[in-house]
Structure 1
C-alpha cells in the first residue's frame, strides 16, 4: 500500500529559433569543453542539439539551460541528485512557467545506490470536488476549453511537499541553499527565449483575460514580451525565500496559501472550491515503484498508478517482444512501416486497458488486485495475438484479472504540458522526475503568493486529467472520475533502467507531452537500449503513436512511402505536431552521455 510520508503531518508542523548558439555557449560554458558545431533540431522548434560529450562524474538533463546549470552547481557543491532536482525545479518555475512549477505536481523516481523509491507529488482534488465537477447543468460534459481556464480546474499542488519529502531522505546540502539560484535569477531577471515567446503568443487571448497574468506576461501594449526581454519576478523571489527559510509550511499555509485559495475561489467565471484546509492537509506519498524485466537483460523501473506511464510503456514493449516477423525497426534511418504498424497496434491495446483500468489506487483497485496483471507474460501474449496484418483501428480493453468493481472505459480527452529532469550525481545516485502544471500555462491563473509584487507562479489545471464524464450510458463508473481528495490519472513516465544481471544503473529518461509522453518515453527506450542508438539520435527520431484512435505521425517527418505503406495496412493517419521534450542520460564506457530534445530548449550539462 502507498504510504503518507512519516514526517508529513499538517503543513504547519513542517519546518526546517531556435535559441542562439552563443547564448547557450555562455550558459553551459562552465560545464562543456566547447560548443563546436551544433546541428539544428529536426523540427526547428527548439534549441540546437548539444554536443555529444561524455561526462565522467555527473550530468543534468533539463528543459532549460539555466535550470540545468543550477542543478549542476548543486552537484559540484557535493549535493545529491535529489538536491539538484530541487534546484532545477525552482528555476523551471521561473524560466519555464508554462510547463511546470511550484503551483503544480510531480513524480520523482530516485536511486540511492541501494534501492529505487517513488515519491508521488501529484495534485489532489479539493474536498468539495465531486463527480459533477465538469458537467454542465444539463448533465453533458464541458468542453476542455470551457473547463480549463479558472479555478474549477486547479488541483491542490504537490510539488513542494514531495520535493521536501525526498530531500529530507536524500539531501546532502541545506534545504535553503537549493533555492538560491532561482531566487537570484528571479531578482536579476532572465531573458525571454524564442520558445517562451511562442508559448505567450499562442495563449495571448486567454492570458489577456486574466488580469494578474496579463499584467506580468504581457507588455503595456497588451503584446507578449519580445525575445530577449529581461523579465524579473520579485513575487516568486519572495515566495521562494519563505520556502527556503521555513520549508513547505511557507507554501501550504500563511499568505501563499491564502492567495492560492483567493485566486481559485475568486475567479469571476469559473471558480473552484479549494480551501485552506485542502492545502494544509496535502500529503505526498511514497509508493512502491514498478520494476519490469525487459528483453531479459534490462530491469525497467517506473511509476505506478496514478501514473499510467510505466504500465502502458511496458505493455507496448512487452507485446512487441511477443510479435513474430516485426522486421527491422529502422529503414533508411527512420522507423520502418512494418515496425510502426506493430508498435501502433500494441499502443491501441495498451491505451484501451489504460482507459478502462488505471486511476488513483487509493480509490480504484487494480484488476486482480495487482497492477502487474496488466504486465503478465501470458496476458501480453494474448493481447499481442490480436495484432493482425491490417490495423484494428480501435482496440477493446482486455481481461487481465477479475475486477473488484464494474468500470467503464474513459473517453479520450486532451492532455498537455509538463517538463522532465534526469540527473546522475558523482556518487552514482540518480533522479528521473517529470513535473507538470498540465496544460500550457495551466489554469492561466497567476498567484503572487500574497506578496502584492509583480509576477508569481502559475496554478495548475490538473483536475482536467480526470474524466469529465463520471459514468457511461449504463451507469457504470469511470475509474478516473472526479472524487474528493483523489489524484487524477497521469501519463508522466519517469524511468530508471538497470542491468538485470549486475544491478548497475544504465539510464534515466522521461518526457513532457500529455498522453504522448508514453510514446516519447517508449520510443527513446526502445531505440537506445533496444536498437543501439545514442540517446541524442533516438531523441531526434520522428515521433509517432496512437491513443487508440488514428495513427499519429510527427508532421513533415515521414516520407510519402511510409504513409502509403501504413494506409495499405488499414491505418487512418493523422500528421500532427508531436513536440516531445525528452531528457535522457545513458551509461557508456567512461561515464554518461545525454540526449536533450531539440524540439524544445533542453540541454545536457555535466563534468
Structure 2
C-alpha cells in the first residue's frame, strides 16, 4: 500500500511539462525520464539521455518496449545541423518463410499468432544504442546503464498502466511460466503498486554495460534468447546465434518534406510513419486549415479523407527497402499528392479509398499488416542543441510473452502481412528471412521557417501512431497551438467501415456534422501516449500526453 501511494503521489506531483534553457527530457514513465535527466546532469548528450531512458523503460515498461525489441531514432546535431536516422527495427530469422503465419491455406488469427516463438524478431535496440553512442555519446557506455540496473535490482512499483496491460494478457501466462514468475502474485497479475524486482534483467544489463553489445548478441545471453524462441511453449521455431550475430542497425536517409514553410522530417522504410505523414500533409495543404480551425468539422473531415487515402498507399507500396522496391520519391512527389488531394471534397466523403499510382511504382497488391496498440516514445534535448526523437517497442502487450535473461521478447514479426500473395502478386510486407516488418513508428523532428528545430515528437499506438503525430503537427503548425495543446487535441482514425473519433472529446461531439458529409462515424477508445519537446524562445519546453503516465523533466 505504501509503495502504491508513493507511486501515485509521484505521478500527481511530477509535472507533465517542463521549460528549460538547457536540456529537457520527456518519456512515458517518470522513472525513465529521471534516468535521462541524470545523464544530462552528468554532462551527457541528448543521445546519452535517450539511451538511458530506453534502458530504464526496459525495466519499468516491459509491456511496451525494451531491449528485447527494437526502435527507430532520429537525431539532429546542434553543432552541424545534420539530421540522421538509425533503424533498429527487428529482423526475421533465417528460418522465416513467407507462409510463417499461414495455416491450412489461411492466415492465422492475430490472437493465435503473437504468443510464442513465431512472432519473435531478432532484437535491434542494443545495436542501435551502440551505433548512436559511438556517433553522439559523451558519457562512458557503462554509465548509461546505471539507472536501469538500480531499478531492476532494487525494485520498482507496477504502474496503473502496466497493471492494466497485464490484465489483458495474463490469462495466457499459464503456458509461459517465466513471465508468470516475474509479474504475477498468488497466481494473479500483480496489481498496481506491487514492487517488482528483476535480478536476471539486472544481470543482463550489467553484462552489456561491461561487455558491450556482444554480451547481448552472443554468449550466454544470446544463447538464452535463441533457446527461448527455439523451445517456446507455443509455436517453437528456430532462432539461432547466427541470426543474432548477423543483426546490424542501419543508418537510413531521413524522409523530409515541406509544409507551409516548415520542414517535417522522419523515418523512411521500414517505417511507414514519415512517408504517410508527409502524404497527408501534402494532401491537405491546399485547404486553409488555419481559417477552418480546430473546432471545424470540415477540418477534421479533410484530415480523415487524407488519412484514408494515405493509408491505402501505405498498405500497397511500403515495406523493407532492402527487399522490395518502394517508390519513396513518388509517394511524396508534390504533383502526385496534388492528384490525390483532388479526390478530396470539403463537402462530401469519397467513400472508397483506393491506392494511387505514384511515379516509379511497380504493380503492387495491397496487404493488411497487423500492428496493435503498444510501444513507447521519448525525446531528449541537450544544452548544445542536439535533439533525439526515438520510438521503441516490443509490439503488443508484453510482446511474445517469452522471457530471456529477465527481458520480454518482442512479437514484431506479426507486423508482417500474414498473406504473402494477393491476386497472384507478392505483397510488399510479406515475411522473408532477414527482412524487417513494416512499422508505424513515427519519430519526427520539425524545422521552422528559420531552419531551426522547433518541435520533436512521437507516440505509441500501433498503426494509430501516424495519426496521433499527424493531428499534433496540424495543431502545432496550422492552429499555432503549444505542443501540449496540440497533443491534447482529440484523436482520429478509421476502421470497420467508419471514421473513428476519440470518445468523450470535442471531436465526438462533431459526429452528427461529420456524418452529414457521407461517412459513418463511430466513437472509439483512441488513447495515445505522445511525448514532445518544442522550442520556446531561446530554450525548450518538454511535454507529455495527459492520457499517459508520462512526464517532462528539465536538466
Which TM bucket (shorter chain)?
over 0.9
Candidates 476, 486, 492, aligned match of 1:528:
476
The answer for the alignment partner of 1:421 in structure 2 is 378
Q: Report Cα offsets for 1:156-205 as digits up to 9, x if no partner.
A: 00000111011011110000010011111111101111111111112220
- Trace 1:255-274 onto structure 2 (pairs within 5 A): 255-274=220-239
Q: CA 1:291 to 1:210, structure 2 compared with 1: closer, same or farther past 3 Å?
A: same
Q: Hey, what's the Cα distance between the residues in 1 that align with 2:253 and 2:164?
A: 39
- Deviation for aligned residue 1:549: 4.4
Q: CA 1:231 to 1:280, structure 2 compared with 1: closer, same or farther past 3 Å?
A: same
Residues 55 and 66 in structure 2, CA contact (< 8 A), matched pair in contact too = yes
**Alignment RMSD:** 1.9
Residues 17 and 552 in structure 2, CA contact (< 8 A), matched pair in contact too = no
- Deviation for aligned residue 1:575: 1.8
- Trace 1:383-462 onto structure 2 (pairs within 5 A): 383-388=340-345, 389-404=347-362, 406-411=363-368, 413-448=370-405, 456-462=406-412
Candidates 484, 489, 503, aligned match of 2:433:
484
Q: Hey, what's the Cα distance between the residues in 2 that align with 1:131 and 1:70?
A: 41
- Trace 1:306-325 onto structure 2 (pairs within 5 A): 306-323=270-287
- Deviation for aligned residue 1:230: 1.4
- Deviation for aligned residue 1:471: 0.5
Secondary structure at 1:183 match in 2: helix
Candidates 114, 124, 130, aligned match of 1:164:
130
- Deviation for aligned residue 1:533: 1.1
TM-score normalised by L of structure 2: 0.96
Q: CA 1:560 to 1:317, structure 2 compared with 1: closer, same or farther past 3 Å?
A: closer
Residues 293 and 500 in structure 1, CA contact (< 8 A), matched pair in contact too = no
Residues 369 and 429 in structure 2, CA contact (< 8 A), matched pair in contact too = no
Q: Are residue 197 (structure 1) and residue 155 (structure 2) matched? A: no
Residues 56 and 592 in structure 1, CA contact (< 8 A), matched pair in contact too = yes
Candidates 229, 236, 251, aligned match of 2:194:
229
Unmatched tracts of structure 2, length 5 or more = none
Residues 144 and 414 in structure 1, CA contact (< 8 A), matched pair in contact too = no
Secondary structure at 2:257 match in 1: strand
TM-score normalised by L of structure 1: 0.88
Q: CA 1:88 to 1:286, structure 2 compared with 1: closer, same or farther past 3 Å?
A: same
Q: Are residue 305 (structure 1) and residue 265 (structure 2) matched? A: no
Secondary structure at 1:300 match in 2: strand
Unmatched tracts of structure 1, length 5 or more = 1-18, 29-34, 36-47, 449-455
Q: Hey, what's the Cα distance between the residues in 1 that align with 2:468 and 2:147?
A: 30
- Trace 1:29-48 onto structure 2 (pairs within 5 A): 35=13
Candidates 140, 154, 162, aligned match of 2:120:
154
Residues 501 and 521 in structure 2, CA contact (< 8 A), matched pair in contact too = yes
The answer for the alignment partner of 1:605 in structure 2 is 553
Q: Hey, what's the Cα distance between the residues in 2 that align with 1:375 and 1:392?
A: 21
Residues 393 and 549 in structure 1, CA contact (< 8 A), matched pair in contact too = no
The answer for the alignment partner of 1:538 in structure 2 is 486
Residues 18 and 543 in structure 2, CA contact (< 8 A), matched pair in contact too = no
The answer for the alignment partner of 2:140 in structure 1 is 174
Secondary structure at 1:570 match in 2: coil
Q: Hey, what's the Cα distance between the residues in 2 that align with 1:552 and 1:382?
A: 25
Secondary structure at 1:546 match in 2: strand
The answer for the alignment partner of 1:211 in structure 2 is 177
Q: CA 1:374 to 1:493, structure 2 compared with 1: closer, same or farther past 3 Å?
A: same
- Deviation for aligned residue 1:128: 0.7
The answer for the alignment partner of 1:464 in structure 2 is 414
The answer for the alignment partner of 1:11 in structure 2 is none
Provide the aligned length of Structure 1 versus Structure 2: 550
Q: Hey, what's the Cα distance between the residues in 2 that align with 1:463 and 1:53?
A: 37
Q: Report Cα offsets for 1:494-552 as digits up to 9, x if no partner.
A: 00111243x21111100010000000011111111221111111212221123694211
The answer for the alignment partner of 2:154 in structure 1 is 188
Q: Hey, what's the Cα distance between the residues in 2 that align with 1:20 and 1:185?
A: 16
Candidates 290, 295, 298, aligned match of 2:260:
295
Secondary structure at 2:549 match in 1: coil
Q: Hey, what's the Cα distance between the residues in 1 that align with 2:523 and 2:4?
A: 29
Q: CA 1:51 to 1:435, structure 2 compared with 1: closer, same or farther past 3 Å?
A: closer
Q: CA 1:165 to 1:391, structure 2 compared with 1: closer, same or farther past 3 Å?
A: same
The answer for the alignment partner of 2:532 in structure 1 is 584
Q: Report Cα offsets for 1:119-173 as digits up to 9, x if no partner.
A: 110000111101100100x211000011100000000000001110110111100
The answer for the alignment partner of 1:366 in structure 2 is 326
Q: CA 1:68 to 1:324, structure 2 compared with 1: closer, same or farther past 3 Å?
A: closer
Q: Hey, what's the Cα distance between the residues in 2 that align with 1:561 and 1:134?
A: 41
- Deviation for aligned residue 1:414: 4.1
The answer for the alignment partner of 2:454 in structure 1 is 506
- Deviation for aligned residue 1:429: 0.4
